[in-house]
Amino acid sequence: MAFVLLLVNVMPMSVLAAGIVEAPTVDVPAGTYTENKTVTLTSASTGATIYYTTDGSEPALSGGVPSGDDVSLTNGTLTFTKVAAGENIPVTFTDFSITGADAANYKLLQPAGVTASIYNRYHAAQNKDYTVNSNGWINTDFVVTAKTGFELSKTNTADGTWSSTLSATEETAAGSLAFYVRNKVTGAISNQATETYKIDKTVPMAEINVGTNSWKQFWNPVTFGHFFKNTKSVTVTATDNLTTDPTVEYLLADHEFTKGQLTAASVTWTDYTGGFIINANSKKIVYAKVTDEAGNSIIVNSAGIVVYTDSAADTTEITYVKNVTGDVNAKVTLNGNTVAGIQNGNNALTDGTDYTVDADGKITFKEAYLKTLAAGTYTLTVSYDPMGESYVQGDENEAANTTELALTVRVMESAAENEKKENIPFIKGENGILCR
């Protein structure tokens, strides 16, 4: 920064009342000469002192004023129009003034057009002057916190708003917060600091797909209403509004869970790397958990899914001889299913009264029921509940096959009664008893 105050010495004569000094005259015309010349400078202003140079520069007073003059300069106050670091910043002054016995002989020209440069060597540093809660993905506000002895502002003026924290709240994958740090002891204000952040407060979305069935939310209680045979494939899809690589996990459960149970550390999730299979002879509930890079998480689950193998009849026909045989047994391979009911034509048998079924698939037809039937042949139709769940109709649901059992009912006859009948031979039935 540089400036010059110009003081011009004048005599207090009437012709100089306006403080104007006449320009000096030179007795040698301008030009180029080959011999030495004597140059005389004169001024029409009586008492004026003439200063000159021979190198083309502006002349200056030696020591500020001529020797012997009583003149003192009182400086003005310098003010920067702004305090931010930069070059060629305009500077203003309050008026300079002169005093002394000879002050009236001088004209004071106030400085104008003065500029200056400000250089800031203070660069605030993370963990030295301030801390941030994270520069990576977060699901809360981004917060900058001043260290002890410092404060923060979004402006670099001393009279700005300064605080211990600054924050950003908007969701973004590429946020940045610009701010300044001030030393509370020295008052020094730093260059602008910038910290980046990533905020995602929105939970991702997840979808479980089994065939044409899909589920996108968590629900409880769960019922088993989807029935498939042999095997069934499952896929899980995940999307997020900002992050690009959410983590997907799944749990293939035999029973339902609450959300609290699913967030417990004791639950073991499996990383989802692609579609997986629900094997036959099982009933499952599929849980999927999707967690985005910011830590937002969602859990969704499917309805109950039954994948089963049809039951098969080991016994295809039975015979009951009235008053002789007693209960009659038949055998089926359940394959994990249970007997839903038995029909004799249009008539439904009563479980526990007309028949019983044990865990190994043995069906016992009760004599009390069998003896109500007239002699003849009957077809008993056995229906099944897949894996013990009551079958319901639904899109893509596959109903369980039935099995059939031929029942023959006969009447025992004595030898005497048979003799009365012509040409009707005895038939040796069960237990060696003769019957027709």
Q: What is the pLDDT of residues 258-306, one digit of tens each?
A: 999 999 888 999 999 999 999 999 999 999 999 999 999 999 999 999 9
Does the pLDDT value for residue 406 go beyond 60? Answer: yes
Among 87, 119, 151, the domain boundary falls at 119
Among 119, 141, 163, the domain boundary falls at 119
pLDDT bin (cut points 50, 70, 90) of residue 4 is very low
Asked which of 36-50, 61-75, 165-179, 319-333 is least confident by mean pLDDT, the reply is 61-75
Q: Which domain, by its residues, includes 271?
A: 205-308
Select the more confidently predicted residue: 401 or 116: 401
Write out the DSSP string of 205-229.
EEEEEETTEEE-S--SS--EEEEEE
Select the more confidently predicted residue: 76 or 85: 76
Please count the structural domains in the chain. 4
Highest mean pLDDT among 44-48, 51-55, 102-106, 431-435: 102-106
Does the pLDDT value for residue 103 go beyond 90? Answer: no
Backbone dihedral angles phi then psi of residue 431, each to the nearest 5 degrees: 65, 15
Asked which of 30-34, 264-268, 395-399, 428-432 is least confident by mean pLDDT, the reply is 428-432
Select the more confidently predicted residue: 96 or 366: 366
Among 119, 154, 187, the domain boundary falls at 119
Q: Are residues 98 and 172 in the same domain?
A: no
Q: Tell me, yes or no, whether 96 lies in a domain.
A: yes
pLDDT bin (cut points 50, 70, 90) of residue 3 is very low
Q: Tell me, yes or no, whether 405 lies in a domain.
A: yes
Sign of the dihedral through C-alpha 6, 10, 16, 18: positive
* For residues 425-432, average pLDDT: 51
Give the C-alpha distances (Å, rounded to integers) separating 413 from 227, 340, 410, 416: 50, 37, 10, 8
Which pLDDT belongs to residue 425? Answer: 57
Mean per-residue pLDDT over the chain, rounded: 86
Q: Are residues 91 and 8 in the same domain?
A: yes
Q: Tell me, yes or no, whether 17 lies in a domain.
A: yes
Is residue 8 a contact partner of residue 106, using CB atoms and an 8 Å limit?
Answer: yes
Q: Tell me, yes or no, whether 422 lies in a domain.
A: no
Structure tokens at 288: 């999927």
Q: Tell me, yes or no, whether 125 lies in a domain.
A: no
Q: Are residues 333 and 284 in the same domain?
A: no
Exposed e or buried b per residue across 154-170, where buried means at least 16 C-beta atoms within 10 angstroms of its C-beta: eebeeeeebeeebeeee
Q: Tell me, yes or no, whether 364 lies in a domain.
A: yes
pLDDT bin (cut points 50, 70, 90) of residue 9 is very low
Put simply, whether the predicted model's pTM sits higher than 0.85 gets the answer no
